[in-house]
Chains A and B, each alone.
Chain A
Amino acid sequence: MKRLLFVLLFLAFVAAAQEEENRNGDYQAAIAAYEQRIADGEASGDLFYNLGNAYYESGQLGLALLNYRRAEIYLPRNGDVQLQIARLRGEREDFIGAEREWLVITANLSADILTMYELSILVFGFWALYFLLLALSRRSLRWLLWLTAAGMLIGVFFLGTRLYLETQQPEAVILVDAVQIMTGPGQDYLPLYILYEGAELRVLEQRQGWYRFSLADGRLGWIAAGNVEFIVK
């Protein structure tokens, strides 16, 4: 028990020291400390948010957006996180706009409000209630059974779209200043256009160290894998 208390106190001390570095403007030291905590397996919304702040203040917009987006996964309803993401999207070079594909819009309906865990618990509630009502088989509760079934199906749909997008079309952020987008997976293909740091893209396919992606405005292209990092690792 004493050992646990000591470890907790030590961690609190380390966190306080990092925050102090961040406050004092020593962003490089703060970044190193936060990254170390993440490398040690720690993960939380405030940690990613504060790391995003440190990157932002040190002028690394791509890494800042990446970490704000990671913080958003933990804290989807947090106004500060939303504000910083909106600010960075406004500051980056590329005007990309919002995604208009129906699958993404559907997934975002729940992603803006609930984490995957919270959504899963909600759907599980419908799931459990449905089977309970089914077991009771009361005629008078039939309307509730249908209502629960509808809620469960809608929830499963939301859950499915999010799982599909996160696993099949994961989002990534460009971390280099500027990168040439090509028409195919290689440098001998035609150059298409240039994307800048902080551009968010959805990876559709991986081949030979290259990613085929789509942007929110519908543009497609290939980018070398080393230029981007996935939001969900």
Chain B
Amino acid sequence: MRWFSLLILLLAVSVYAQTGESFVVGSVNSNEVYAGEPIIYTLRIHLLGEVSDSQIIMPSLVGFGHSSLRIEPSAASEVFGTDLYTIVEQNYLLFPLRIGTITIEPFQVQVPETPFQSAITISTDSVTVNVRALPPEAPEGFRNAIGQYEIEASASPTELRSGDAFTFRITVSGSGNLEQILAPEITLPQGWRIFEDESSLIQDSLLFGSKSFDWTVFPIGEGAVEIPSVSFTYFNPQNEAYETRRTSPITLTLRPGVAVPVPEIPDRVAILAPQTALMPPQLALEPYPPLWFWGTWLFPPALSLAIWMLRRPRMQKSEPQAKRMSSSRALQVFRRQLKTAQTLEAKAAYELIENALNNYMSARNLDINRLPIPLKGEFASCIDEASSGRFAPIKQADVIELIRRSLAVVTAIEKEKA
């Protein structure tokens, strides 16, 4: 109840800091707490105008533990004077970890540029919390649980065969440092095997919730067997005293099962003396490579580079050869096209010759303007003849003559290039 009232009242320990027109306020629900007692730090960001994405920069929170719980911030609108503000509220659950006066350094909020104001950084004032030590002489079984709790035990199933497994669950619910509390110690009849499972935390709010601890137990016996009550000790800050809660005993009904004898554990020295035999010297590498070993890693890339360098001139030599191949191939194609032209009707033949000449120059990557003048003139003349001749009266003899001239000039170009 105390937590609830404190949460609502949110004792104003802070003074708000104002920069420009937006401002931020930081406060704690109580500034007089016991070590380990959870406190809520509320950050209230007042933003002028529309809601904008602001970024919160948390201080280092030295002396505090910080809950991993993530609670979404709440937003609302409020009018201060004549201005409409968007108010974003974010709560943090902190646990003071040491005794004395601890300061929560200022939180900073970076507000991006809006139509109403330029980008600014606003910050809270620092808040001081006075942390008291827990009363001395804590009872046995106290494991740093601080708050107000109830404890409940359950077993499922409660009727089973001897040697079969059942789940034993302890649920601690209430308000306080639920995240920090540890499993209470349980005592079960001798010979029962027990395996601890993971705990699960259900948080209704920052302070309220429940934590369950599960064990898988293999009971041995017959008839009604009682699981003794489990106690849980915590410190109640409201009463300023340690309190202990106990579960009710649970009765299991065990039917006869497949008998599994409980292994008897003999004296450790007795069983181990023959088993810790001396180990003779082992042949093994050192566990860590020496420094020079890492140096050898340079050799493969160096060798690879050397091989590449050696092969490079040979690869360069092979390039002109590739060009000559290309040249003979281009000439071959050119001749084949001229041969085809001989079989065609005069105008089609002229068209093909023109294409063959152009294709040859393109395949050989030659520029007509860079040819020697006589060759350039003759080549241009052949192109002109093939291009314009199509629109003039031409005979088959003219085709033969043009083919002869084209072949001659291309052969001459090849000789020139060679």
Q: Check B20 for interface membership: any CB of A closer than 8 A.
A: no
A26 interface residue (CB < 8 Å to B): no
| Cβ 8 A contact of A117, one of B97, B269, B286, B300 | B286
| Complex contact B65–A115 (CB within 8 A) | no
B303 within 8 A of A: yes
Interface size on B, residues (CB 8 A): 39
Which 9 pairs, one residue from A and one from B, show the smallest C-beta to C-beta distance?
A131-B300, A135-B307, A131-B304, A135-B304, A183-B97, A53-B276, A46-B279, A128-B300, A115-B287
Q: Spell out B's residues near A (CB within 8 Å).
A: 35-36, 63, 65, 97-100, 143-144, 182, 196, 268-269, 272-273, 276-282, 284-289, 293, 296-297, 299-301, 303-304, 307-308
Q: Is A75 at the interface (CB under 8 A from chain B)?
A: yes
Contact status of A50 and B278, CB under 8 A, knowing A115-B285, A124-B297, A134-B304: yes
For A15, the chain B residues whose CB sits under 8 A away are 281
Q: Which of A171-179, A189-197, A198-206 contacts B (4 or more CB under 8 A)?
A: A189-197
Give B387 Cβ to nearest chain A Cβ, in Å. 45
Bound CA span A189–B36, Å: 10
**Helix, strand, loop or mixed for chain A's interface?**
helix
Report 16 cross-chain contacts, Cβ distance below 8 Å, ordered by A residue.
A49-B279, A53-B278, A57-B269, A57-B276, A74-B284, A75-B282, A117-B293, A120-B289, A124-B293, A127-B300, A128-B299, A132-B303, A135-B308, A136-B307, A189-B97, A190-B98
* Residue in A45, A91, A183 whose Cβ sees the most chain B Cβ within 10 Å: A183
A46 and B300 contact, CB distance less than 8 A:
no
- Give chain A residues whose Cβ lies under 8 Å from the Cβ of B144: 190-193
> How far apart are the CA atoms of A214 and B182 in the complex, in Å?
16
A184 touching B63 in the complex, CB below 8 Å, given contacts A45-B282, A74-B287: yes
Q: Check if A188 is an interface residue, CB within 8 A of chain B.
A: yes
Nearest B residue to A18 via CB reads B278
Q: Bound state CA distance, A17 and B293, in angstroms?
A: 36
Interface contacts (Cβ under 8 Å), in number, total 101
**Are the CB atoms of A117 and B182 closer together than 8 Å?**
no
How many whole Å from A70's CB to the nearest CB in chain B? 9
The answer for the CA separation of A68 and B287 in the assembled complex, in Å, is 14
Q: Is the CB of B301 within 8 A of A56?
A: no
CB distance from B148 to the nearest CB of A (A): 19
Known: A121-B289, A135-B303, A192-B144; 7 extra A-B contacts, CB below 8 A, are A44-B281, A44-B282, A44-B284, A115-B285, A115-B286, A116-B288, A124-B293
Asked whether A84 and B297 contact (CB < 8 A) given A118-B285, A190-B144, the answer is no
> Shortest CB–CB separation between residue A90 and chain B, in angstroms?
11
Q: Which A residues fall within an 8 A CB radius of B?
A: 15, 19, 22-23, 44-46, 49-50, 53, 56-57, 73-75, 78, 80, 84, 87, 91, 95, 115-118, 120-121, 124, 127-128, 130-132, 134-136, 183-184, 186, 188-193
- Out of B97, B269, B276, B282, name the residue touching A46 (CB < 8 Å): B282
Chain A nearest CB, measured from B50 CB (Å): 41
**CA distance in complex: A191, B138 (Å):** 12
Residues in A whose Cβ lies below 8 Å from that of B65: 183
How close is B195's CB to chain A, nearest CB, in angstroms? 9
Which chain B residues lie closer than 8 Å to A132 at the CB level? 300, 303-304
Contacts of B284 in A (CB 8 A): 44-45, 74-75, 115
Pick the contact of A193: B63, B182, B299 (CB < 8 A). Answer: B182
Q: How close is A113's CB to chain B, nearest CB, in angstroms?
A: 13
Expressed in whole angstroms, the Cα–Cα distance for A136 and B300 within the complex equals: 12
Are A117 and B268 in touch, CB under 8 angstroms? no
Asked if A193 and B282 sit within 8 Å, CB to CB, the answer is no
Give the complex CA separation of A120 and B36 in angstroms. 48
Docked-complex contact B99 and A188, CB < 8 angstroms: yes
Report how far A74 CA is from B277 CA in the complex, Å.
18
Residue of B nearest to A22 (CB): B278
A73 and B287 in contact (CB under 8 A), knowing A128-B300, A184-B63, A189-B98? yes
Known: A44-B281, A115-B284, A184-B98. A130 touches B269 (CB 8 A): no
Residues from chain B with a CB closer than 8 A to the CB of A121 are 289
**If A45-B284, A115-B285 touch, does A57 touch B273 (CB 8 Å cutoff)?**
yes
CB-CB < 8 A to B300: which residues of A? 127-128, 130-132
Chain B residue with the shortest CB-CB distance to A192: B144
Q: Known interface pairs A184-B63, A193-B143. Does A117 touch B297 (Cβ–Cβ under 8 Å)?
A: no
Q: In whole Å, how far is B213's beta carbon from the nearest beta carbon of chain A? A: 13
Which residue of A53, A91, A184, A190 contacts B36 across the interface (Cβ within 8 Å)? A190
Bound: A15/B36 CA distance, A: 54
Indicate if the CB atoms of A131 and B301 lie closer than 8 Å. yes
Residues of B within 8 A of A91 (CB): 268
C-alpha gap A75/B280 in the complex (Å): 13
